[in-house]
Amino acid sequence: MLKISRAPGVQLSDLFRLALLAMPVLALVLLLRNPALDPQFEIPGFHFAIVTVTSLCGIWLAALVLRTAHRLREPRMFFLGLSFLAVAGFFFAHGLLTPGVIIRFFSTGIGWAPLVGLALGAIFLALSSERLRAARQSRWFAARGWILLGLLLLWAGFLALSLTVPELLEGHPTSLSAYMAPAPASGPMLEEYGPPAADGEPMYFPWISVTILSISMGLYLLTAWRYARNYRLTRMPLHATVVAGVIMLAESQLSFFLASTWRISWWEYHALVLLGFTTILYGLLTGYRQGAGLTQTITSLILDGSVQALERSYSEVLIALVAAVETRDPYTKGHSEAVARLATQIGEAMGLSPETLRALYQAGLLHDVGKIGIPDAILNKPGRLTPTEFELVKTHPMLSEDIVGRIPSLRPTLEAIRWHHERLDGSGYPDRLRGDQVPLEARIMAVADVYDAMTSGRSYRSAWPEGAVRTYLRQEAGRLFDERCVTALHRALQQQGETAGAAIATQPAAVGGKL
């Protein structure tokens, strides 16, 4: 028997990428602990240039996403675009307030602009990664104009206040380095992170900035974790670039808070924001160049449920294999996709890892491809099969295993494919496994396969009512089927029904109350 490959966990290449992403933090620590390696480079013109370039990258990214969000009426995509716009807009204000370039005086707003922008970006980014109910999606999208107007007014008000009241919040530093500095240094931006208060007033501990930074960093890391989970599920490169970009934005805040003005460690936070934007933009452009349309590429940024994410990610090879089977047996058209969805939902209800969910989805699509080797006369026979014919049909799991096993990346699916007809009491086929010999993935596939097969019509029988199939599975749980899998199926179906009901309930409101 062919040795089966289990679904891998976090891969070594993923750990290597995480190690690379930790390098900016290690570099920051090294520079802060060794001042001799962290000299000052006071170049206001270059500061203005790099901040402007960063802002333009962010605005371009925001425009692409917001345009697609408007076309698709997708509120989470709208929030994603707003996150890029918020960071880019306030970074642009940060550049405009550079003393000695456009304006000739110092304003405390130059230190607060990136802090506020990154915080707003974190909030909108976290909202974009939420799974919103249909009713909430409609309400958020209906309010998109007011939200965008509010953001623009906030930006304009901040810039106006920074120019007209440049000494606002004096004595409230935005960085720890400004609070701990024994005396101000020289130069036009000596007070960028918050100058000492005038007339000998005390310098306050930066509680405001600490609070804002803590919340925004937490939101960035939460969003990065959500995209990382989706990457483990779908292995879509775009999600990996988003993880990298978001982590860089989070790391930039550490440099912002800890570094002293003009030092290399201070320049690092500017570079990290620029790299964060360009990394995400690179992912979008790469997906576009590989043949996916721009709309499809941007849409894949939205984090849906496991089933929807996997449906977007499976390749043309899998589609072709499934289509080859379904053209042979019209009664099973849609069966493979239905089993793939159900198996994934069962696995999700059981709390399985993203890698296992991916293997379950692929196995569901491919579990019957071996039927391509069964004669049409047997597949589409309207009556009962003879014992000889049934023995031939029982070879399809092994044929499926042989076909799929030729593709190395699909080998983690082989347990579920070969043994999806095994039963706990040993009455299944092809190997008559019993009890714990049946792998969990195969048990899940068995429940999903039986449920969809029995609720669908065949050439030799009509479909069973859903309630009757659920009763049958409960009755046979523990003897033929795994009880945990049957329970998880019922939970998944119940949740699916509630979601569908909520979506139907919101339809009249979405079309102005007309059915």
Structure pTM? 0.75
**pLDDT at residue 309, rounded to an integer:** 61
Mean pLDDT, the chain, integer: 82
CA distance 156 to 282: 30
Q: Provide the pLDDT confidence category of residue 384 given band limits of 50, 70 and 90.
A: confident
Structure confidence at residue 295 (pLDDT): 78
Q: What pLDDT score was predicted for residue 186? A: 45
How many Å separate Cα 22 from the centre of its chain? Answer: 20
CA 322, distance to chain mean position in Å, is: 27
| pLDDT value of position 290 | 67
CA 324, CA 332: separation in Å to the nearest integer?
A: 12
Rounded CA separation 45/43 (Å): 6
Q: Which of 189, 198, 146, 193 is nearest to 167 (CA)?
A: 198
Is pLDDT of 189 > 70?
no
DSSP labels, 303-336 = ---HHHHHHHH--HHHHHHHHHHHTT-GGGTTHH
Separation between Cα atoms, residue 141 and residue 399, nearest integer Å: 49
pLDDT digits (tens, 9 = 90+) for 300-346: 777 766 666 666 656 666 677 677 777 776 666 688 889 999 999 99
Average pLDDT estimate for 168-176: 76
Cβ atoms 244, 17 nearer than 8 A: yes
Of residues 288 and 372, which shows the higher confidence score?
372
Rounded Cα gap, residues 111 and 190, in angstroms: 11
pLDDT at res. 312: 62
**Cβ–Cβ under 8 Å, residues 466 and 443:** no
- pLDDT category, 514, cuts 50, 70, 90? very low
DSSP conformation class of 169: T
Residue 515: predicted pLDDT:
25
Most confident of 180-189, 195-204, 312-321: 312-321
Q: Taking 70 as the threshold, does the pLDDT of residue 419 lie above it?
A: yes
Residue 95 · residue 56 · CB < 8 Å: no
Q: Tokens standing for 256?
A: 């912002």
Residue 336 identity:
S
Cis, bond preceding 375 (omega within 30 deg of 0): no
Distance CA 134, CA 142 (A): 12
How confident is the model over 143-156, as pLDDT tens digits? 888 999 999 999 99
Q: How do residues 425-456 score in pLDDT, each as one tens digit? A: 999 999 999 999 999 999 999 999 999 989 88
The angle that helices 109-128 and 75-96 make with each other, rounded to 10 degrees, is 170
Locate all alpha helices (DSSP H) within 421-481, ordered by sequence: 440-454, 466-476
DSSP code of residue 462: P
* pLDDT score recorded for residue 3: 42
Which structural domains are found in the chain, ordered by start?
A: 16-299 (1.20.1070), 306-510 (1.10.3210.10)
Which of 16-20, 116-120, 501-505 shows the lowest mean pLDDT across its residues?
A: 501-505
